[in-house]
């Protein structure tokens, strides 16, 4: 006898859809992935998307959050784009997000779409 209720099946479908949405594309870099998620889901004041990226593609990069914090993104994902990385093409904010240039699997570096923000204090 199959004891799986329709509600359980529906719940499973929702779960599958959610995990499909947060899955990085093949070769997608941290910065493109997190921006794509922020554009869809918004920032909740944590590093949930950088953490998800790390867990899914580079589980051994345990110092990722420390590195982000050292670049000024101490508290949440959207700070990455205020303090750490900006678009390599200047007018990109006004246009749709370009496709990721790609990085090797296991890398937490941004692709060629991004440059480090250099602040002058
Ligand atoms: Zn934020
Ligand atoms: Zn990228």
pLDDT tens by residue, 55-75: 999 999 999 999 999 999 999
Of the bound ligands, which one is closest to the alpha carbon of residue 99?
2
DSSP conformation letters of 51-119: HHHHHHH-TT-TTHHHHHHHTT--S-TTHIIIIIEEESSGGGGGSPPPPP----TT--S--TTEEE---
Position 21 scores a pLDDT of: 66
**pLDDT grade for 2, boundaries at 50, 70 and 90:** low
Q: How far away, in angstroms, is 92 Cα from ligand 1 center?
A: 20
Q: How far away, in angstroms, is 113 Cα from ligand 2 center?
A: 6
CA 96 to each of CA 53, 93, 102: distance values in angstroms, whole numbers, following the listed order: 21, 7, 17
- How do residues 82-119 score in pLDDT, each as one tens digit? 999 999 986 666 778 889 999 999 999 999 999 999 87
Q: How far away, in angstroms, is 79 Cα from ligand 1 center?
A: 6
Asked whether the whole model's pTM tops 0.75, one would answer: yes
Collapse the DSSP code of 112 into the 3-class scheme (helix H, G, I; strand E, B; otherwise coil) and give the result. Answer: coil
């Amino acid at each position: 006898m199959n004891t799986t209720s329709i509600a359980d099946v529906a719940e499973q479908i929702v779960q599958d859809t959610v995990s499909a949405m947060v899955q990085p594309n093949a070769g997608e870099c941290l910065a493109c992935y997190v921006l794509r998620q922020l554009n869809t889901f918004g920032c909740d004041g944590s590093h949930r998307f950088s953490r998800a990226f790390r867990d899914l593609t580079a589980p051994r990069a345990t110092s990722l959050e420390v590195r982000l914090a050292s670049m000024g993104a101490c508290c949440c994902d959207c700070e990455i784009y205020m303090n750490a990385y900006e678009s390599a093409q200047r007018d990109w904010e006004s246009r749709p997000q370009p496709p990721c240039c790609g990085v090797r699997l296991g890398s937490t570096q941004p692709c060629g779409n991004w440059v480090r923000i250099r602040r002058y204090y």
